[in-house]
Amino acid sequence: MAASAKKVEKLKESTLIWMDGKLVPWADAKVHVLTHSLHYGVAVFEGIRCYPQPNGGGAIFRLREHVRRLFESAHICLMEMPFTKDEVFEACKQVMIANKMNEGYLRPIAYYSDGLMGVGAVNPVRLTIATWFWGAYLGEEGLKKGIRVKISSYTRMHMNSDPTRAKVTGHYLNGVLAKREALMAGYDEAILLDQQGYVAEATGENVFIVRDGVLYTPPVAGGILEGITRESIIRIARDKNVQVEERRFSRDYLYCADEAFMCGTAAEITPVREVDDRRIGAGEMGPITREIQSTFFRAVRGLEPRYTEWLTPIEAPISAEARA
């Protein structure tokens, strides 16, 4: 079945969106059709999650690191941000509080507004932060049982053609084409290889494999996005005395892994049970993946004191009535 024919679930909207320093109703958060970034693909963005905490409130996971990456993406793209890092940090909290949400996905995006057209035009930069409720990105079942993945016919772009370290909208053509190809072929996700043929990453996730008890993940120098979840997993694994190596590996090495999983803010930690119709390990979530996933989910929900530095509480606890 063509991917486009699949039922698309509607976004679970919040009430307010932060736009250029003001909170506006969801339906009014609009831009002009001649918004420069819409035409030329230069908008920098982040995906961030906020998780419910034991006290009933919420906490944003690794907010400082996400804001930092947003500003680094802007710096790489020569985009002058109209707000400071501290202002963006506070605005992310504010948008959750204003929507009375203790759980959700946040999407800050900075873009060139309308004004002039042409590739060289530099219009004023605008910044928006939206939030909505987003469940398991690769499906609840995927989180538990693992997903089926296809190695893409598309290659991850080279760092000298597009600065791969930046999280820029234009890069996602590469990911969108790979993802749709995989979905249309009946898989759940795609993995892209780099220009030399080594495993790079998935369309919105970094990749890990386990072999003989060692965790391997492609190095950042290979032109992948430096995932914040990836870095959290490396720390969790090392804290558990699991050896982690940032090393290039080929697709056949991936086929023969004992375990494999993907990670990202949206996908969290999703096991991979099959790649190109080859079963990975026992064809289910492996023990090391399970252990890391479980610690990760406890950490984001404030149940692992060792990692509370990763959490930014959004405010005092929100009561169930206030959330309703």
**Active site positions, annotated:** 167
- In the DSSP assignment, the letter for residue 70 is H
Site string for ligand PLP, 157-196 (x = CB under 6 A): ------------------x---------------------
Q: How many residues does the chain have?
A: 324
Torsional sign, CA 134, 102, 55, 313 = positive
Site string for ligand PLP, 45-74 (x = CB under 6 A): --x---------------------------
Q: In whole angstroms, how close is the CB of 121 to ligand PLP at the nearest point?
A: 26
Helix extents (H) in 77-193: 85-98, 140-145, 172-184
With respect to ligand PLP, which residue has the nearer C-beta, 108 or 114? 108
Would you give the end-to-end CA distance of the chain in angstroms?
A: 38
Q: Which two tokens stand for residue 91?
A: 């605005």
Q: With DSSP H G I counted as helix, E B as strand and the rest as coil, what are the percentages for the chain, rounded to 5?
A: 30, 30, 40
- With b meaning 16 or more CB within 10 Å and e meaning fewer, what string describes 190-227? bbbbbeeebbbbbbbbbbbbbbeeebbbbebebbbbbb
With respect to ligand PLP, which residue has the nearer C-beta, 48 or 314? 48
DSSP 126-153: EEEEEEEE---TT-HHHHHH-EEEEEEE
Q: Does residue number 104 form part of the binding site for ligand PLP (CB under 6 A)?
A: no
Which one of residues 114, 188, 201, 274 is an interface residue with ligand PLP (CB under 6 A)?
201
Residue with tokens 């690794």: 62
Q: Does residue number 217 form part of the binding site for ligand PLP (CB under 6 A)?
A: no
Q: Does residue number 205 form part of the binding site for ligand PLP (CB under 6 A)?
A: yes
Count each helix (H run) and each strand (E run) in the chain, helices first.
9, 18
Q: Does residue number 152 form part of the binding site for ligand PLP (CB under 6 A)?
A: no
Q: Does residue number 227 form part of the binding site for ligand PLP (CB under 6 A)?
A: yes
Q: Does residue number 230 form part of the binding site for ligand PLP (CB under 6 A)?
A: yes
Q: Does residue number 93 form part of the binding site for ligand PLP (CB under 6 A)?
A: no
Which window, 119-127, 204-212, 239-247, 275-283, contacts ligand PLP (CB under 6 A)?
A: 204-212
Cα–Cα distance measured from residue 277 to residue 274, given in angstroms and rounded to the nearest whole number = 6
With respect to ligand PLP, which residue has the nearer C-beta, 223 or 318? 223
Q: In whole angstroms, how close is the CB of 24 to ligand PLP at the nearest point?
A: 25
Binding site for ligand PLP (CB under 6 A): 47, 175, 201, 204-206, 225, 227-230, 264-265
